[in-house]
Amino acid sequence: MTKKRLYKYIAIFISFIAIIYLFKVSKLHFCFNRVSIKSLKSFIESYGKYSIFVILIIYAVKPFIMLFPTWVLGVVSGILYGWFLGYIVSLIGCFISATVGYYVAGFLGKDFVHKVTKGKLNKFDKVLKKDGFKILFLMRLPVIFPYDALSLACGLTSIRYRDFILASVLGVMPEMFAYNYFGNSFNTRHYRSLLIPITIIIILLVVSYIIKDMKELE
């Protein structure tokens, strides 16, 4: 058994157990019926000292459910843990979420991935063959590409896991910093500090439009 296949089975098993726990044992199914920053915060906070583990589990199952964007968890992390610890938790969560998405893509099947990527799977594969790490890093920087959909798509392309995970985590760092800082601002009541994450998001939006017109992504 190859390492890639072993990691795939491990990711599927962990995700399966997490889904059963969250939807059968916990009250997350109720929380997801009306997903919002407030509902997620209340749900995660209710687990006290285990809350960090709960938010990481949510990151792990997100590629399957995709009911809310990754930025919501970033803001919640900033509110609950402050910008620094929340940022670390968010990056670990993104690492887990990306890994799960990458390895379970084959299990979910091409039809499912085609659906969530709106038929762009073949285009992703063609683009990533040019320079997988560079292209994916550029695709992770903008705030317009859905995090989980892109992870699932990459799992069915030729990009190596090492390049995939490095590009994913490095590319999402500015965005996650902005969201965590944004969430933390509501705790500190220093609303002037909101200028920092807002500026970062604006810059990333500009980068998004620039990247969309790059020949490498055509």
CA distances in angstroms from 170 to 92, 95, 165, 174, listed in the order given: 12, 10, 8, 8
User: What is the reported pTM?
Assistant: 0.79
Q: How many CB atoms lie within 10 A of CB 176?
A: 24
pLDDT band at 130 (very low <50, low <70, confident <90, very high): confident
Residue 186 C-alpha from the chain's centroid: 22
3-state helix, strand, coil in the chain (%, to 5): 85, 0, 15
Q: Which residues contact 146 (CB under 8 A, 6 or more apart)?
A: 66, 69, 116
Which of 1-10, 125-134, 178-187, 198-207 reaches the highest mean pLDDT?
A: 178-187
pLDDT band at 167 (very low <50, low <70, confident <90, very high): very high
Choice between 191 and 132, residue whose per-residue pLDDT is larger: 132
* Ranges 25-39, 66-80, 117-131: which has the least confidence: 25-39
Choice between 169 and 156, residue whose per-residue pLDDT is larger: 169
pLDDT band at 80 (very low <50, low <70, confident <90, very high): very high
Pairwise CA distance, residues 168 & 184, whole Å: 24
Domain that holds residue 157: 3-217
DSSP string, 190-217: -GGGGHHHHHHHHHHHHHHHHHHT-GGG
User: How many structural domains is the chain composed of?
Assistant: 1
DSSP string, 77-144: HHHHHHHHHHHHHHHHHHHHHHHHHHHHHHHH-HHHHHHHTTT-HHHHHHHHHHHHHHHHHHHHSSSS
